Structure formats: structure tokens, C-alpha cells
Structure 1
Amino acid sequence: MTQIDYYLSPISPWTHMTGTRPAEIAAAAGVAIRYKPVDPTALFQRTGGKILAERHESRKAYRMQELARWSKLLGLPINLRPAFFPANPAPASYAIIAAQETGGGDMAALVTGLTRACWEEERNIAEDEVIRDCLSAAGFDPALSFSGMLQGAEIYPRNLEEAVADGVFGVPFFKVGEAAFWGQDRLDFLAEHLGVSR
């Protein structure tokens, strides 16, 4: 069966801008979607990218303009300077992994809830209370923030290795077989590839 491998980070503003669109495309195409959180700092280090703090000031300024433009275009609010950025994305990533492995809730709602917490609601997604709230709101057992910790910690670095092997160098990134799509602004190409009219 065709599957979309969705590499993401819950601390990424571009994952926030992606919203629920990947899940909507997958549903329209009748394909599965696999959420694969990765450590963006480690991914950049492994694939030649630079973390935000190391980028030239002109690149940082352009990033802010682009985020504001996409926020307006998509009608998706964003606080360009959130109170808790950067935060450690690992605990939220572990929760995403544990929720996916356990099932029973809405994965798209969980991912968007976590990114919304950071980029709209001024909440720290490294805090257990925030993660539990997002799990519960998406229909998952909030106890996964504890019970899924070991499973998440085991799969999280494995996702990174798979990402590097799969040619992934940033987030959000989508793979369907050999076809690669980097960035939330490439979702129309992903939809077209899967025969979904947008």
C-alpha cells in the first residue's frame, strides 16, 4: 500500500504552517500517512544545513517575512517570536510517536495541537502538562506522555537515521516511494503526485 512518510518537528514553524493538509491529502488519495518526528538540529548537522542561530541575518529576516506571508495566505495565526522557542522538541516528539504506535486518536489533531501550542498559544511544548493537554484534545490517553517515553526515545533516533538514508534534509518533508517533497509549500505537488485535485 502507498504510504506518505511525513518527517516533521513539532517545534518547526513550517510544520505549524503545514497544518492538517497532509492528512487531508492522504485521506483524499486513500493512502496511509506515517508521522516521523525527527530532531531538526541533528538532521541539519547530518545533511549540511544550519540551525537558525547560525544563519546569516539576511536569511533570518527573510524567514520572518515568509512566515508572515504564509500565515496570511493560509489564514493560520502565528506569533513570530513565541515565548518558548526554541524548546526541546523531544518530549512532544516522543508523544507523537507513542500516540501513533498506540492509535485511537487523531494524529493530525495531535501534531497541529502541539505546533499551535508553541506558535499561537505561548505554551512550552517541552512541558508535560502541555503535552498531556494536546494528547487528550486529540483523543489519546494523556498518560502516553509518561508511558510512551521509552518507546518514543527508542524510535526518535531511528527516525533520524531513516530520514538521512531517505534523502531528507529539512522539515516538513514528505516521501512517497522515491518521490520527495520538501516544505509545506510543496503540498500541491504531493497531492498531484497522488492524483488528488487541490
Structure 2
Amino acid sequence: MAQIDYFFATLSPYSYLAGMRLEEIAAKHGATINYKPLDIIALFGRTGGVPPKDRHISRIEYRAQELLRQSRNLDMPFNLQPAHWPTNMAPSSYAIIAAVRDGSGDVGKLCHLFLHACWAEEKDIADDGVIRACLEQAGFDPNLADSGLLVGAETYAANLEEAVDRGVFGAPFYITPDDQRFWGQDRLDDLDRHLAEMK
């Protein structure tokens, strides 16, 4: 069974725009997904990238146009300037890590709920109440928000180190067992074709 290592950030607009398409592709090919939330700002610093606010104005303007274009093309609600962005990614990431270990609910749905809360609902995904609500909606015990914080912190840091070691430099980023790398939600069709060719 193929595995997809999925590196993403719970504040990444492009991870949001991926929706649940990764989960659909994985199901189609009988693949499993290894969810690896990470600190995208730290990743930029480690791999030669620049946080959005520090980029040249031409890049900032293009990013704004492209995000709105893609959200319209995908028919997804999208707020270019959400009320709680940026915010602390760690609490939502720790919740995802705890959910992966727990295994009782839908991790893919949980990831999307956090992203949707930020980019479409004006919610602060660092807020404990928001985190608990997302966990519950995805079929998990909301008390997972309080569990395994040390493991969460260690795994979150390890995900960043693994990402740097494996050539990840943005989010969303997908890596297949044969080390084919796909960056961006607009490369999901390429990932789909590659998984078909691997069979």
C-alpha cells in the first residue's frame, strides 16, 4: 500500500484550498496519509523562503490575486485577510498529532476544519474552544486538546526537521514512497497520476 507523507501548516491558505482532495486521491489508490503538521514560518527560514509579510510587494500582490482566483475556481469561501492570521499554529498542530495517535475520528476532516475555521469562518485556531469544537466535529474526544502536549511538541519539531531533510520548502507538500515530491494544492492532479502509475 502506497503512503503519502503530507507536510502542511494549519495556517497555510494553499493547504486550505487543497480541501479534502488529498483524502479522495488516497482513497482512490488505496494509499494511506501520514499527516505531518509543521511550523511553516520556521520552514521558510530554514529553506531560503521569506514569510508573506516580508516579501517584495510584487510577490505580495500576486499572491493575493492568485489566492482569490484559485478559491473562485474551486468554489471555496475565502477571506484574503482573516481576522486571526497569523496566529499560533502549535495548539492546532498538537491536536492533529494527538488525533493521529488516537485514531478514533477523521484526521483529514480535522485538518480541513482547522483550515476552514481560519480562512472562511474568522476563527482563531489557537483558541481552546475552537480546537475542541473542531476535534468534536471530526469525531474525536475534544479532551484530546489537553493530552500529549509534550509528545505533540516533540513531534511538531521533528516534522520540521524531517521536512528540511527531505527537501520540503512550502505547504502543502506531498512525498510518495519513491521520493517524488509535489508542492502545492495545484499539483494534486499530478500526484493522482503518479500514484496510478505506481500500481
Structures share a fold, TM > 0.5? yes
AA aligned to 1:2 is A
Distance 2:68 2:51 in 1: 20
When normalised by structure 1's length, the TM-score is: 0.97
**Counterpart for residue 112 of structure 1:** 112
Determine the C-alpha separation between the residues in 2 that align with 1:27 and 1:148.
29
Which SS does the other structure have where 1:7 is aligned? strand
**Post-superposition offset of 1:90:** 0.7
Deviations 1:45-95 (A, max 9, x none): 110000111101111111110111111111111011100000111110111
Alpha-carbon distance in 2 for matches of 1:155, 1:84: 25
Q: Distance in 2 between matches of 1:20 and 1:139?
A: 16
**Are 1:143 and 2:156 matched, yes or no?**
no
CA distance in 1, matches of 2:184, 2:148: 28
> In 2, Cα distance between the equivalents of 1:95 and 1:149?
8
Unmatched tracts of structure 1, length 5 or more: none
CA distance in 2, matches of 1:112, 1:60: 24
Partner amino acid, structure 1, of 2:77: P
Please list every run of 5 or more consecutive structure 2 residues that lacks an aligned counterpart in the other structure: none
Q: Does 1:15 align with 2:15?
A: yes
Equivalent residue letter for 1:187: L
Give the Cα–Cα distance (whole angstroms) in 2 for the partners of residues 149 and 130 of structure 1.
17
CA drift of 1:148 comes to: 2.8
Matched residue type, 1:171: A
Residue of structure 1 equivalent to 2:53:
53
- 1:34 is paired with a residue whose SS is strand
Letter of the structure 2 residue corresponding to residue 67 of structure 1? L
- Shift in Å, 1:27: 0.6
Distance 1:25 1:151 in 2: 29
Q: What secondary structure sits across from 2:152 in the alignment?
A: helix
What is the match of residue 182 of structure 1? 183
Alignment of 1:4-153 (within 5 A): 4-153=4-153
Q: Distance in 2 between matches of 1:172 and 1:10?
A: 10
